Amino acid sequence: MGRISRWSLILSLLFAGGFLILAFRGASWEGMVGTARQGRMSLLILTFFLQSLSYFVRGLRWHVLLRIEKFIPPMTVFWAMMLGYLGNNFLPARAGELVRSVMIGRSAQISKSYALATILTERLIDMAVLVLICLGMVIFLKEMPGWLASALPILGAIGLAGLAALFFIPRHEHWLKTRLPRVLLPESLRDPASQILGKFFVGMHIFQHPSQALCFLGLTMIIWLIDSWVAIEVASAFNLTLTFIGALLLLGGLGLASMIPSTPGSIGIFQFVAVTVLVLFNFTRSEALVYIIALQAVVYAVVTVWGLIGIWRLGMHRKNAGL
């Protein structure tokens, strides 16, 4: 396992390094310094609070999925989610998703398999929404980055397959949780595997509850509106102009890119995405790099602050509960 982890880290660093070279190639360091000097701290502080609001709404959205089985206090959900995002910023391959499923399982005394399934459901629906956003931008734009135009059909197919699975699995849950262990596992492991699968499938029941599905989708739209506002305000902080359409395309590209296992915080790949997208909206390469570094800094600050508080809050919760 240690050797595998070491090779995974090496490959992630090579992956990030390659994208950083592509992103910074041809950039003017003098231009970057000049753009950075125009930064207004007051607007960046505003984006910190706006991004915090976005994450709070994300916590409410995850709460909608989790309450299918059990009501959990929204703030407990929020702290576990932020702890998971903190893990994503410092661990490779989005390992923070496993962290938050474990933390919410321990804090709320629910199945970790169920929690992980709700996270997978969240990711699948997010992917479908991101693909729709990027496809919608085709109507308004004459061109798109080549990598994004090439990736959209593949990602769209994955997103549609994932949504189809969310509809299919609950309707065939009994058959799947009894047949799959029988086919894949020895007899001694079939019953435990069937119980785990049952909990996992319950976490994918969002479309079996129309009112909760609508609530989930409504919160998703609010999240992307707030995130677009953040993206526009970060540009304004450096006297740059980013339109709402540009913000949506950038966020769509960043969101899809973040689904690729890479370095912690997607360093490297985010710089590449920003440069290829923002040049379409009259940003220079240097301006795009300063912009995305500032946007990532805001996100890192928000996740670090609330994630560290989450460690303390969940630790206090477990201590009071005697866990």
pLDDT per residue over 71-89, tens digit each? 999 999 999 999 999 988 8
Which residues make Cβ contacts (< 8 Å) with residue 218, sequence separation at least 6?
A: none
In a domain, 47, yes or no: yes
Place of tokens 């379409």: 280
Q: How confident is the model at residue 283 (pLDDT cuts 50, 70, 90)?
A: very high
Distance (Å, whole) CA 109 – CA 103: 9
**Where is pLDDT greater, at 307 or 140?**
307
Distance (Å, whole) CA 234 – CA 191: 52
In a domain, 120, yes or no: yes
User: What's the chain's Rg over C-alpha atoms?
Assistant: 21
Above 80 in pLDDT, residue 93?
Answer: no
Q: How confident is the model at residue 265 (pLDDT cuts 50, 70, 90)?
A: low
Over residues 243-251, the mean pLDDT reads 91
Which residues make Cβ contacts (< 8 Å) with residue 55, sequence separation at least 6?
A: 78, 81, 82, 85, 302, 303, 306
- DSSP code for 70: -
When mean pLDDT is compared over 8-12, 104-108, 282-286, the highest value belongs to: 282-286
Q: How confident is the model at residue 22 (pLDDT cuts 50, 70, 90)?
A: confident
Above 60 in pLDDT, residue 141?
Answer: yes
Which residues make Cβ contacts (< 8 Å) with residue 116, sequence separation at least 6?
A: 97, 98, 101, 200, 203
Over residues 133-162, the mean pLDDT reads 76
Over residues 281-293, the mean pLDDT reads 94
When mean pLDDT is compared over 132-146, 185-199, 272-286, the highest value belongs to: 272-286
In a domain, 71, yes or no: yes
Q: How confident is the model at residue 300 (pLDDT cuts 50, 70, 90)?
A: very high
Q: How many domains does the chain have?
A: 1
Residues of the chain with pLDDT > 70, as a percent, come to 82
In a domain, 126, yes or no: yes
DSSP alpha helix (H) spans, 25-95: 29-37, 41-66, 74-90
Above 90 in pLDDT, residue 113?
Answer: no
In a domain, 7, yes or no: no
Domain span including residue 82: 14-317
Show the tokens assigned to 174: 């009994």
In a domain, 9, yes or no: no
Which residues make Cβ contacts (< 8 Å) with residue 233, sequence separation at least 6?
A: 43, 46, 47, 50
DSSP alpha helix (H) spans, 67-142: 74-90, 96-108, 112-137
pLDDT computed for residue 1 by the predictor:
41
CA torsion, ordered 12, 17, 18, 23, to nearest 10 deg: 130
When mean pLDDT is compared over 100-114, 246-260, 276-290, the highest value belongs to: 276-290
Question: How many CA within 13 A on the CB side of residue 18?
Answer: 8
pLDDT computed for residue 4 by the predictor:
44
Over residues 210-231, the mean pLDDT reads 92
Q: How confident is the model at residue 149 (pLDDT cuts 50, 70, 90)?
A: confident
**Mean pLDDT lowest among 132-136, 158-162, 241-245, 315-319:** 315-319
pLDDT computed for residue 188 by the predictor:
64
Spatial CA neighbour of 302 closest among 74, 58, 34, 13: 58
Q: Alpha carbon of 228 to those of 43, 62, 134, 147, 310: distances in Å?
A: 15, 20, 14, 22, 26
Distance (Å, whole) CA 80 – CA 60: 12
Distance of CA 168 to the CA centre of its chain: 24
In a domain, 5, yes or no: no
CA torsion, ordered 284, 286, 287, 291, to nearest 10 deg: 140
In a domain, 6, yes or no: no
